Structure 1
Amino acid sequence: MIAEKADRNSVTALAKEINVNSILANMLVNRGVDSFQKAKDFFRPDLDKLHDPFLMKDMDKAVERLSQAIERNEKILVYGDYDVDGTTSVAMMYGYLIQFYKKVDFYIPDRYKEGYGISEKGVRFAAENDFKLIVSLDCGIKAIEKVKLGKELGVDFIICDHHTPGEILPPAVAILDPKRDDCNYPYKELSGCGVGFKLIQAFAKSKGHAESKVMTFLDLLAISIAADIVPITGENRILTFYGIERINNNPRPGIKALIMKSRIEKDLEISDIVFKIGPRINASGRLEHAKASVELMIATDLEDALERADLVDTVNSARKNFDENITKEALGMIEGIEEVRQMKSTVLFKEDWHKGVIGIVASRCIEKYYRPTIILTESNNKATGSARSVFDFDIYEAISECSDLLEQFGGHKYAAGLTMSVDKVPAFQEKFEAVVSSRITDIHLHPVLEIDDEILLDQVNYKFYNILKQMAPFGPGNPEPIFCLKQVYAEDVRILKDKHLKFNVVQDGQLTKPVCIAFGMADKNVYPDEIIYKMLIRKMRFDLAFEIRENTFRNNSTLQLYVKDIKFD
């Protein structure tokens, strides 16, 4: 669907004020950029505009306790989750502290033996090894019993989290979380690593440490923001902008090694983090232990980092194999039974599926069967699973309706985790389908592509593209612009590698005929007996949804259209 046109007066005024055309002005107003000052802040992110970290509730207490630990020569344990946000947080906090204080170590829980967040094993490890302070990152906001245990064992907690707190907060020395009801911090959408970064900022400020040393960790922070899919708006936009700039100009050895292993030969973008860097960092925590990812990110020597990246890359390749094989099995289970194909939800269980990839498999299933999906496997004699949702359907609420069958669940609107007895799986499948069927609408069951505006082919030029580039970094809250061309046809249609389409697009009355790339669409059906390729070569008219990208080959750069969808008359 094409996004609604913004208020005409606002668009006209902004276009005149910042000297852009109405298409760009409309896009900016729809993103909340409706004045000269907002446009200046948007196009020229400024580190001086970051908020004072001491505006965050409990920041003074956190800085005081961290200072006290160092003055008393106490051992400090940096504790974080096993995903990208958690491991980048740990690498950042540990990397900062170890520069001037040596009695610091880090701890990542084992996904399979300890599960998500603060574990009893982790707290006891700290107590048994004489750690007096745990700084937890990207977790801890609901770890009431574990923090109580720490207190009993003589271990204090500083919690840095960004998840929504429960009604009762843990008895920590300090709880840094902008989503606390009593926290007046101006920006609420920081990643877990972002909250940790504010603690480092505040500590450095209190000790008179050079701010430039704090900013060297923006690369890790940018990776956390991109991989954790938090909004790239406000403060996150500033942090991501300078973090990616740092990665492209002066990456730390671990990140440089990951870029080399990912074969990224251009300036890195958010999409490269989401699809190439992030999955590699995540892989060790999915299949083995996330400690390997932290060790890679804190490596100080490129040769050492490349060896560690080799290991992470190998694990990521194994993860891909698990992912592909289990996805194939899961889709086969849906396709094999007509009744299952017609359902409004997908709930699949197989006892030997790998727990580390079931969330990915749920997302893959949604690509083929667009509906709320839960993939379950057996772990520690329980059925445990990951849930993923479709646009605007609250899967957490639907799971809550089935809570009488569950032992544990948690999550949010679009993703959740759950655990139940294996013998309850059939009853859960039945009840979840009933709940989803009663709530879901046909609109939820079809993917929606939001298009910024309709344009003409001759408007696809470098002047336009160069302004679009300045709107980066793209992500939630500032999606990469998608445009629409009406009533076009194709020339010189080719199939690449048996699965992609390449063609020139033509529009009556327009001189430009740019190349289009349609990934994975070579055998895509438009109707049961008709594929896109055959309709294109017959020069049938269609509407095209696309992103504009630059392609460089043998030092020659041209603009190409990356096809998002094709809709025939």
Structure 2
Amino acid sequence: MEKWMVAAKKANFNRLAKTFSISPVLARIMVNRGLKTDEEFQQFLYGDLSALHRPEKMKDMERGVECIRRSVDGGHLICIASDFDVDGVFSGYILWRGIHRVGGQAYVVAPDRIQEGYGLNSRIVREAYRRGAGCILTCDNGIAAMDAIGMAKGLGMDVVVTDHHEPVYEIDTDEDGTEKRIYKLPPADAVIDPKREDCGYPFKGLCGAGVAWKFVELLYETYGVPKSEFYELLPFSAVATVADVMDLVDENRIIVKYGLHGMAKTEHPGLQAVIRHSGLNKNYISAYHIGFVIGPCFNAAGRLDRADMAIRLLQTTDREEAERLAADLVALNQSRKEMTALGYERAVEQIEKEGLYKDKIILICLENCHESLAGIIAGRLKEKYHRPVIAGTEKDGMIKASGRSIEAYNMYESLSACRNLFERFGGHAMAAGMSLKKENFSVLRERLNENCGLLEEDLIPVVHIDVPMPLDYISEGFIQELDLLEPFGKGNPKPIFAEKHFRILRASVIGKNRNVLKMQVCNDSGVRMDALYFGDIREFDDYVEKMYGADGKNRMYAGLSNPVDMAFTYYPSLNEYGGRRILQIIIHNFQRIPR
């Protein structure tokens, strides 16, 4: 089971509540998110587009825009070298639309995930040269493309890099034995990446599309394009920010908040079609819908087909074509989900059979699995076993793998120490991708586990509770106040509340797929409320039976007097049905806490 921990950050919650006209509970949640000063509170609650940082604060931004201006004014074709995931596709579209708006000519190209892998490559450079492009503009990649950019420069092409990934570095040792990083940048005309060591941009957490959006801001200003047209691109930057799992803080929070507003107004045929075919209402799109519905649809193209389909969907102005492409993307994503579920089940069987769960770092080579699904499966395995997971697929003696990590383990740092084992490698603290020879996979497993430094306590999942809060406090007004914290996501998770003792008055399994547990619960104050649990019902039942016996569990389901007394973490919500608004809680975690 998890370890439950109540956040214990101190502040004058009553003063903050009075200053910002919010409840002390909301003030406590915001302090738990790391907000300290009144200025930070003001920015979090009421920050708007005027609070965004100026693009020229980013190193090489002005140089890069000037380079593109020369190509536009000179009538030279620009190759936008993108990537095959959501961030790459959307950043490519933002740059393409921006360049065309100022009178330039450009096309977007992405590598083939299976045949070529991530990033700018020689095939893209040769093709750009053959088509007569005078400039290559990268997005969501390029910071590590030393050879390909060197090749482009050798052919006489201009190259502008826009990226957000960590620059490549080597470890050097001083005379006193102190290790230091020596960063290497590609030989481009401009390298725009907020993670550059010498970049003074105030916010380092933009995704690739966020950097591209900033690039277009300065490009539009150079050509006198109205600011309103720049803001029309907000929804595309917002989708990429959520889909690429960026922290929703600082600029990202503003981009997503106002991008979601823009989704409701957008007339963009591609976005409208995907929203419609996914069964969503464009007036009520949340970060959740982007992360789990819209984003995966656009990602499916690069995973199972080619990213070209997603790029065409964004570029088309023909509504019939948009409808057709959106339907194809949604169907492709459905296939991806089914393939992922099967791959995950087989992976769990393999881990249990081979005893890989005993390792602190799980490395698994998936059999009969599409290589593009390895990262998703690694993420799900990480959640199940709560330890870092690297999942790969093998072909012709080579393994392509994706890793997903936990907070206590910097995967990029650890893999960097094994760099000599890889043919290709890149990533960050929580995720990484790599290619290596099959015989090196077992060597990697051994090295990582020997040097991981993880303790057993690091492998116990921790549930961070924002506020221990009884049902008595929940009201419709409080639930509406929680909307001030939106958008939720990485870096700004949905708050978690908890209460130690709930009696379950009755329970039933509902839903078309019989996958929702509905309960009526009652706390020690006598407050009754409906509760829904969307997790593993069998696991819940087994736990109740273990704690209170089969008779206790059966009486709970029969609605009879029973001994079941459970602690829940939860989030309050409103159930609107038949014109009625009923308070309820959504259960996340459960355990028995003795009285």
Name the TM-score class by shorter chain: over 0.9
Report 1:132-147 matches (<5 A): 132-147=134-149
How many angstroms apart in 2 are the aligned matches of 1:34 and 1:207? 40
CA contact (8 A) 2:7 2:464 kept: no
**TM-aligned CA distance change 1:59 to 1:391, over 3 Å:** closer
CA contact (8 A) 1:352 1:378 kept: no
How many angstroms apart in 2 are the aligned matches of 1:528 and 1:30? 32
The letter of the residue matching 2:45 is F
1:284 aligns with 2:301: yes
1:553 positional shift? 2.9
CA contact (8 A) 2:75 2:104 kept: no
1:251 positional shift? 5.0
**TM-aligned CA distance change 1:426 to 1:61, over 3 Å:** closer
SS of 1:478's partner is coil
Q: 2:215 aligns with which of 182, 196, 199?
A: 199
Q: Provide the residue aligned with 1:112 in structure 2.
A: 114
How many angstroms apart in 2 are the aligned matches of 1:40 and 1:398? 39
Indicate the larger mover: 401-410 or 144-153. 401-410
How many angstroms apart in 1 are the aligned matches of 2:274 and 2:144? 33
1:310 positional shift? 1.0
How many angstroms apart in 2 are the aligned matches of 1:165 and 1:334? 34
CA contact (8 A) 2:301 2:309 kept: yes
TM-score using structure 1 length: 0.94
Q: Provide the residue aligned with 1:164 in structure 2.
A: 166
1:183 positional shift? 1.5
**TM-aligned CA distance change 1:554 to 1:124, over 3 Å:** farther
Stretches (4+) displaced over 6 A: none
Report 1:144-543 matches (<5 A): 144-166=146-168, 167-265=183-281, 267-337=284-354, 339-350=355-366, 352-379=368-395, 381-436=397-452, 439-496=453-510, 497-511=513-527, 513-525=528-540, 527=543, 530=546, 535=553, 537=557, 538-543=562-567
Q: 1:544 aligns with which of 568, 585, 593?
A: 568
CA contact (8 A) 2:166 2:428 kept: no
Aligned length: 564
Aligned Cα RMSD in Å?
2.1
TM-score using structure 2 length: 0.90
1:555 positional shift? 4.1
How many angstroms apart in 1 are the aligned matches of 2:228 and 2:396? 47
CA contact (8 A) 1:164 1:179 kept: yes
1:328 positional shift? 1.4
How many angstroms apart in 2 are the aligned matches of 1:250 and 1:404? 48
**TM-aligned CA distance change 1:515 to 1:310, over 3 Å:** same
How many angstroms apart in 1 are the aligned matches of 2:259 and 2:383? 31
Q: Provide the residue aligned with 2:172 in structure 1.
A: none
CA contact (8 A) 2:572 2:584 kept: yes
How many angstroms apart in 2 are the aligned matches of 1:548 and 1:416? 35
How many angstroms apart in 1 are the aligned matches of 2:92 and 2:49? 23
1:116 positional shift? 0.3
1:102 positional shift? 5.3
CA contact (8 A) 1:395 1:414 kept: yes
1:553 aligns with 2:569: no
Q: 1:48 aligns with which of 42, 50, 53?
A: 50
SS of 2:31's partner is helix
CA contact (8 A) 1:2 1:450 kept: yes
1:539 positional shift? 4.4
How many angstroms apart in 2 are the aligned matches of 1:383 and 1:357? 14
- Measured against aligned partners, the alpha-carbon deviations of 1:331-377 in whole angstroms (never above 9, x if no partner) come to 1112224x334333322214532111011111122233222211121
CA contact (8 A) 1:133 1:156 kept: yes
- Measured against aligned partners, the alpha-carbon deviations of 1:184-232 in whole angstroms (never above 9, x if no partner) come to 1111111110111111100111221101011111010000110111111
Q: Could you list the runs of 5+ residues in structure 1 that have no partner in the other structure?
A: none
The letter of the residue matching 1:124 is R
The letter of the residue matching 1:7 is K
Q: 2:14 aligns with which of 12, 25, 29?
A: 12
CA contact (8 A) 2:87 2:241 kept: yes
How many angstroms apart in 1 are the aligned matches of 2:526 and 2:37? 33
1:303 positional shift? 2.8
Indicate the larger mover: 557-566 or 167-176. 557-566
How many angstroms apart in 2 are the aligned matches of 1:354 and 1:435? 30
- Using the aligned pairs only, state the percent identity: 30
How many angstroms apart in 1 are the aligned matches of 2:425 and 2:75? 40
CA contact (8 A) 1:5 1:26 kept: no
1:424 positional shift? 3.1
CA contact (8 A) 1:127 1:154 kept: no
How many angstroms apart in 2 are the aligned matches of 1:557 and 1:297? 39
Q: Could you list the runs of 5+ residues in structure 2 that have no partner in the other structure?
A: 169-182
1:123 positional shift? 0.8
- Measured against aligned partners, the alpha-carbon deviations of 1:222-253 in whole angstroms (never above 9, x if no partner) come to 00110111111111111111100011233522
Indicate the larger mover: 482-491 or 533-542. 533-542
CA contact (8 A) 2:94 2:216 kept: no
How many angstroms apart in 2 are the aligned matches of 1:113 and 1:531? 53
CA contact (8 A) 1:389 1:414 kept: yes
The letter of the residue matching 1:192 is G
1:568 positional shift? 1.2
SS of 2:458's partner is coil
How many angstroms apart in 1 are the aligned matches of 2:195 and 2:543? 47
